[in-house]
Amino acid sequence: MIRHDLFDEHRAAADPASAPLAERMRPRSFDEYVGQRDLLAPGQPLREAIERDLLQSVILWGPPGTGKTSLARLVADSTRAHFIAFSAVLSGIKDIREVMAEAERARRTRGRRTILFVDEIHRFNKAQQDAFLPRVESGDIVLIGATTENPSFEVNAPLLSRSQVFVLQPLSEEDTAAILRRALSDAERGLGGLAIGVTDEAIRAIARYANGDARVALNLLEFAAASAPSQGGIARVDEAFLRRTIERRALLYDKSGDEHYNLISALHKSMRNSDPDAAVYWLARMIEGGADPLYIARRLVRFASEDVGNADPQALSVAVAAKDACHFIGLPEGSTALTQAAVYLSTAPKSNAVYQAYLRAAADAHTDRADPVPLHLRNAPTRLMKALGYGKGYQYAHDDPDAVTGMDCLPPAVAGRKYYTPTERGFEKEIKRRLDGWAAIRKRRQKQG
């Protein structure tokens, strides 16, 4: 069982030089906490609740290194409640049940509430999360859940409805730079007692590289300080040295997490808005972050039908060709095929008429009477089927001078419905002209019939 002394153990380990710099530099008060001003500036509701020891159950949602665990430690330091902390990575249902029983005893025997911090709560499955619910409802525990994943998908709805969600944003470059400068000047916990010279350009470069993650920034600073060449007894860290140290920036990307869906959404909506520059940017973010190229290709194929459709029928061929090319040659060469398709789709005329036609037809298929196929549309390969009227009254379109007959092809329940309504954009303008002409011919044939 990992209890309140979890954080005490971290603090004890934060003194020796062997502890990571990111651990040693965790804020000890709100004055040292950097970032999240919208949530934690003086007078903000979350800060007021923590400082007045009136905190209710909350979910802290944000990317790595934005201060979720540090905020929980500030709660642990300021509360009079019994504080228990554990990680969903290391704990199981047995640990949860023990904590729940302990919280119930503390409330019943001592009238003392328990604040329970669960790091990476999204790693608990639904059944494990359910175990918290009775104690949250009874008031035995105040839950603080920390997660990097969208709680709408990763936290049980009943638990989510009883918690306030606070969204922590990635740190700005200025905030990250401030954390780095504090670490360089702090002789007690940071690097202030060492002979290190770090240029402002290098600090800004580390802040850009960290991409809003304070832990990444401090780890890189510590590594650079330890490996930088010494000049006159001082370790010199400049931008040129950092470029040699950082071979490639680690992009924030999780192949199955919330950021994955955010990025593909950005790509899709950029193409829909006919913005090839934005489309190529989001595509590159996904590829460079390690996304499955065939997943991207499948989304491009879908987009070709859903958002371009018959405004440019060639779009589907381009998307499928990009998929085949990417499958054939793989990455990195396949990235250009995906880019070509993304640019083509972005610059193609747009129509969702095909997509809307299917949605309307599918809705009718579910809600209207499922009439049998009209006899005149059925094949009659046997004598019995011919005797039953299969194929009777069928009109062969090629026998008509205009290749259009007055025959109805919809069943009675949906007769006369219009599902496909082409736009005036791209090739659909020509399709609309054809359909209007055929409708007039069909009407004339029906009158003649």
The tens digit of pLDDT for each residue in 173-183 reads 999 999 999 99
- Name which residue leads in pLDDT, 132 or 39: 39
Q: Which of 79-83, 236-240, 410-414 has the lowest mean pLDDT?
A: 79-83
pLDDT value, residue 9 = 47
b (16+ CB within 10 A) / e for 63-84: bebbbbbbbbbbbbebbebbbb
Confidence of residue 43 (pLDDT cuts 50, 70, 90): very high
pLDDT value, residue 194 = 87
What's this model's pTM, rounded to 2 decimal places? 0.66
Report, as an integer, the average pLDDT of 87-96.
76
Confidence of residue 218 (pLDDT cuts 50, 70, 90): very high
Residues of the chain with CATH 1.10.3710: 371-448
Q: Which of 11-20, 60-69, 131-140, 219-228 has the lowest mean pLDDT?
A: 11-20
Mean pLDDT of the chain: 87
Q: Is the pLDDT score of 328 beyond 80?
A: yes
pLDDT value, residue 435 = 92
Report, as an integer, the average pLDDT of 350-376.
91
Q: Is the pLDDT score of 301 beyond 70?
A: yes
Q: Is the pLDDT score of 365 beyond 50?
A: yes
Q: Is the pLDDT score of 16 beyond 60?
A: no
The percent of residues in the chain predicted with pLDDT above 70, rounded, is 93
Fold (topology level) of 173-245: Helicase, Ruva Protein; domain 3 (1.10.8)
Residues of the chain with CATH 1.20.272.10: 258-347
> pLDDT (tens digit, 9 = 90+) per residue, 132-176?
888 888 877 889 999 988 898 888 888 899 899 999 999 999 999
Q: Is the pLDDT score of 10 beyond 60?
A: no
Report, as an integer, the average pLDDT of 271-284.
95
Report, as an integer, the average pLDDT of 252-256.
55
Confidence of residue 1 (pLDDT cuts 50, 70, 90): very low
Residues of the chain with CATH 1.10.8.60: 173-245
pLDDT value, residue 312 = 96
Q: Is the pLDDT score of 3 beyond 60?
A: no
pLDDT value, residue 358 = 93
pLDDT value, residue 215 = 92
Confidence of residue 257 (pLDDT cuts 50, 70, 90): low
pLDDT value, residue 5 = 46
- Distance in angstroms (rounded) separating the CA atoms of residues 400 and 445: 10
Report, as an integer, the average pLDDT of 383-401.
91
- Name which residue leads in pLDDT, 401 or 301: 301
Q: Does domain 371-448 have CATH number 1.10.287?
A: no
Residues of the chain with CATH 3.40.50.300: 5-167
For domain 258-347, give the CATH number: 1.20.272.10
For domain 5-167, give the CATH number: 3.40.50.300
